[in-house]
Amino acid sequence: MAKPIEDNSKLCIHTITTKPWNLEEASDAYAKNGVGGITVWRNVLDGRDIYQTGEMLRSKDLDIVSLCRGGFFPADSESKRKVAIDDNIKMVEEAAELGAPMIVLVCGAEPSQSLEKSRGQIQKGIEAVLPHAEEHNIKLAIEPLHPAYADTRSAINTMEQANDMAEKIDSEFVGVAVDVYHLWWDSNLKREIHRCGENNNLFAFHICDWKFPLDDILNDRGLMGEGCIDVPQIREWVEDTGFDGFNEVEIFSNRYWAMDQNDFLEKIIHAYKHKS
């Protein structure tokens, strides 16, 4: 059994989940509801003083869980790959300034080449960013994405591949972000979550649900309990590894973004308590 959820202290919400809110609105509402953590999407930092933004979030007692999202390393030319690496290095500096201990990596895929080749470029990309991550004490979490995104978004599509990559790079600063939306279908998931924990690579846990029918593979994610993912079961596997971090709600949903965001937040908290 997964541990019962007593309060919102281990609940983290991604700013993208409540996209219509600006960062002040989001952080106010999260804090007022006792939400313990916030994962900041990079777009909300545009035009802001990043250090002051971190101070503002900390003043509301929100843990900054991670900065989302780096990656997109594969490309069909050396110069494009260099641009991606430089941008990830810049993001490491932003995370340090913000006070986020971790960056989530959506690793990317270049559709004109094999997934294997893209994975090689991902490894090289992460290795190029790694010294900067170590210097600034920022962890890098590889997020395997659903195979439906293997064309352009990620050549890493299973926990097995993410584990392989993290173990090859073999640094305490490189691990894996487990997202139920991407991974729920995989019959090797329990085994690979266990392996991830054994290697101290389980860095983050993202939750939502897979609705059916799905209107849109990208922006029709469901609230926990609304679809076919057994979130409590996967949370149990994650906690069984000793993982004690946040349960991060990351929902892209045209439907929910069109709602009053206070009502949506209420739904998130209800689903977190009863269906996660």
Give the footprint of a second copy on this chain (CB under 8 A): 111-112, 114-116, 146-148, 150-152, 157-158, 160-161, 184-187, 210, 212-214, 217, 227-228, 230
Closest to 222 (Cα-Cα) out of 208, 233, 205: 208
Q: Of the two residues 22 and 152, which places its CB atom closer to a second copy in the complex?
A: 152
- CB of residue 47 vs a second copy: minimum separation in angstroms? 29
Find the shortest distance in angstroms from Cβ 275 to a second copy. 14
Write the DSSP assignment of 15-57 as a string of letters. Answer: GGGGTTS-HHHHHHHHHHTT--EEEEEGGGGTTS-HHHHHHHH
Q: Residue 214 Cβ, how far from a second copy at the closest point, in Å? A: 7
Q: By three-state DSSP, how is residue 117 classified?
A: helix
* CB closer to a second copy out of 136 and 255: 255
Q: Which is nearer to a second copy, 130 or 176 (CB)?
A: 176
Residue 273, H or E segment: helix 261-275
Phi/psi for 71 (5° steps) reads 110, -135
User: Three-state DSSP class for 213?
Assistant: coil
CB of 211 to a second copy, least distance (A): 8
Based on CB atoms, which residue is closest to a second copy, 232 or 245?
232
Q: Name beta bridge partners: 11.
A: 247
Pairing of strands 202-207, 247-249: parallel
For residue 255, the minimal CB distance to a second copy (Å) is 17
Q: Which C-beta is closer to a second copy: that of 132 or that of 211? A: 211
- Closer CB to a second copy, 55 or 151, in the complex: 151
At closest approach, how far in Å is the CB of 216 from a second copy?
A: 9
CB of 62 vs a second copy, minimal distance in Å = 34
Nearer to a second copy, 134 or 164 (CB): 164
Q: Report phi then psi at 72, rounded to 5.
A: 50, 50
Please state, in angstroms and as integers, the Cα–Cα distance from residue 159 to each residue in 145, 156, 182, 214, 239, following that order: 9, 8, 9, 23, 16
How wide is the angle at C-alpha 176 spanned by C-alphas 240 and 61, nearest 5°?
Answer: 80
Residues in the chain: 276
- Rounded to a whole number of angstroms, the minimum distance from the CB of residue 228 to a second copy is 4
Is 100 or 271 the residue whose CB approaches a second copy more closely? 271
| Rounded Cα gap, residues 145 and 127, in angstroms | 20
How far apart, in whole angstroms, are the C-alpha atoms of residue 233 and residue 209? Answer: 13
CA 266/CA 190 separation, integer angstroms: 31
